[in-house]
Amino acid sequence: MAATLLSPRRIRKNRLRWRRCASGRTVYAYVEGNPVMKFDPAGLSSLCFDRGSGIMSVYDKDGKLVDSYPAANNVTRSSNGPWPDGTYSYSHYNRHSESGKTGPYGSHGIHVFDVPKRSGMGVHSGRSGPKSKTLGCVRTDDESMEKLNKLHKTDPLKSIQVGGPCPG
Amino acid sequence: MPWMSSLFVLLLLLVGCSARTGEQLGACSKEQALIAENSVGRITSWSDLERFFNAHESCDDGLIAEGVSDRVGHLLESDFDGFIDIAGSASKSSFAQFVVKHLDESLNEDTLHSISRRADSCDGINEICKTLRIRTQAALDALADP
């Protein structure tokens, strides 16, 4: 009887949701799988990288500063240039477990963003830290990436602003 | 006029070929970038890298390019002679240029010193060794002067 009250669109949506559950990914990751006892206080978060100060800040959905990390966008001479200034939407996270602490991406993976006319623009750690050159990505340190990943699990990143200045 | 129809077919083929080339070397789509990103970590030999170059050259940017440079560094350390053979083949000159371009200052200093020593040992015998030595030195200079 209840099924007759659902629109075909709603049924499709529910089916997709159950498929995600069946594949092992919980739809309630933002509350560690417990939507009854826990809640998402900040909602989606965003990053802002200030080129001038070499600081990358993370904000909650209301624009409140949550944390700041050392970061840089020093690129090699043969690269396609630094990350262009602007605001970009979040694309995906890739663990890249093949990279160790001093590997190209560090030990905590990469958060990738959609940047028009560029490919693989992301935030990661690795090598000797933020000052080590990249081929376009913003580099921070391993400790900061670990903190950022913890935050991303509860308040998923939605965008990055590159260039600055960032709100204090 | 049968020659006119032949000319027309030939023109169609030429346009088709140039469009295909443009498409292959054009911008990297989001889907292509994701495939390239997931492939780069699996490169363990020069033939893997050459396959990657043929399939994903248009996505050579950002973290994908950083992964390629890392693989180039490891391969030059572990199989330097393999690259000397590749560089000696005229049909692989564009791939050899791609490899040399990725010998850059995103690599660890130790890796660059190791490659520099290998290149020094054959400089004067092989032209590509001279190119690798110069390129490695430039990367080391860039590391020293951020």
pLDDT range class, residue A7, cuts 50, 70, 90? low
Q: Is the ipTM of this complex over 0.95?
A: no
Nearest to B61 among A77, A94, A120 (CB): A120
B35 touches chain A (CB under 8 A): no
Element (H, E) at A110: strand A110-113
Q: Do B65 and A99 touch (CB under 8 A)?
A: no
pLDDT tens digits in sequence order for chain B, 146 residues long: 454 444 443 343 333 333 333 334 469 999 999 999 999 999 999 999 999 999 999 999 999 999 999 999 999 999 999 999 999 999 999 999 999 999 999 999 999 999 999 999 998 889 999 999 999 999 999 998 76
At A60-107, the pLDDT tens digits run 988 999 999 999 999 999 999 999 999 999 999 999 999 999 999 999
CA–CA gap between residue B55 and residue A59 (Å, rounded): 38
Q: Prior bond to A165 cis, omega within 30?
A: yes
B99 touches chain A (CB under 8 A): no
Cβ-Cβ contacts under 8 Å between A and B: the total is 100
Q: Do A79 and B65 touch (CB under 8 A)?
A: yes
pLDDT range class, residue A35, cuts 50, 70, 90? very low
B131 touches chain A (CB under 8 A): no
B141 touches chain A (CB under 8 A): no
Task: Please give the pLDDT value at position B15.
Answer: 38
Q: Do A127 and B27 touch (CB under 8 A)?
A: no
Reply yes or no on whether the pLDDT at A33 is more than 80.
Answer: no
3-state secondary structure of A21: helix
Alpha-carbon dihedral A74, A76, A78, A83, rounded to 10 degrees: -20
Reply yes or no on whether the pLDDT at A43 is more than 70.
Answer: no
Task: Please give the pLDDT value at position B23.
Answer: 38
Tokens of A135: 């081929």
At A115-144, the pLDDT tens digits run 999 999 999 999 999 999 999 999 999 999
Nearest to B62 among A102, A119, A132 (CB): A119
Tokens 């089916």 correspond to what residue? Answer: A15
Which residues of B are less than 8 Å from A133 in CB distance? 104-106, 142-143, 146
Q: Which of A74, A75, A77, A78 to mutate to test the interface with B (most CBs of B within 10 A)?
A: A78
B136 touches chain A (CB under 8 A): no
What single-letter amino acid sits at B108? N
CA–CA gap between residue B62 and residue A47 (Å, rounded): 18
Buried/exposed A127-138: b ≥16 CB within 10 Å, e otherwise: bebbebbbbbbb
Task: Please give the pLDDT value at position A44.
Answer: 86
B34 touches chain A (CB under 8 A): yes
pTM, two decimals, is 0.80
Task: Please give the pLDDT value at position A61.
Answer: 86
B66 touches chain A (CB under 8 A): yes
In this prediction, residues A25-45 reach a mean pLDDT of 51
* Contact indicator for B115, B103 with CB cutoff of 8 Å: yes
- A33 against B63, higher pLDDT: B63
Task: Please give the pLDDT value at position B20.
Answer: 36
Reply yes or no on whether the pLDDT at A59 is more than 70.
Answer: yes
Nearest to A124 among B32, B63, B69 (CB): B63
Buried/exposed A76-100: b ≥16 CB within 10 Å, e otherwise: bebbbebbeeeebebbebbebeebe
Q: What is the DSSP string of B9-51?
A: HHHHHHHHHHHHHHHHHSPPPHHHHHHHHHHHTT--SHHHHHH
pLDDT range class, residue A10, cuts 50, 70, 90? low
Task: Please give the pLDDT value at position A8.
Answer: 60
